[in-house]
Amino acid sequence: MSQLHLKSLNKKLAKIRQKKLEDNLSTLKNLNTSSSKHWKLITKIEKGDCTKSSRSTTIKVNNQLKTDDLDLISNIFADNLESIFQPMNPMNPRAG
- Which residue range is the domain that position 92 belongs to? 55-96
Per-residue confidence (pLDDT) for residue 67, from 0 to 100: 74
Q: Are residues 61 and 50 part of one domain?
A: no
Q: Tell me the mean pLDDT per 10 residues along the chain, length 96.
A: 76 88 78 78 76 63 75 80 73 55
Q: Are residues 48 and 4 in the same domain?
A: yes
- Let me know whether 94 and 47 are in one domain: no
Number of domains in the chain: 2
Query: Exposure string (b/e) for 28-38, b if CB count within 10 Å is 16 or more?
Result: eeeeeeeeeeb
Q: Looking at residue 6, what is its pLDDT? A: 78
**CA-wise closest residue to 56 among 41, 66, 43:** 66
Residue 1: per-residue pLDDT: 57
**Given this model, what pLDDT does residue 49 score?**
63
Please indicate, yes or no, whether residues 49 and 62 belong to a single structural domain of this protein: no
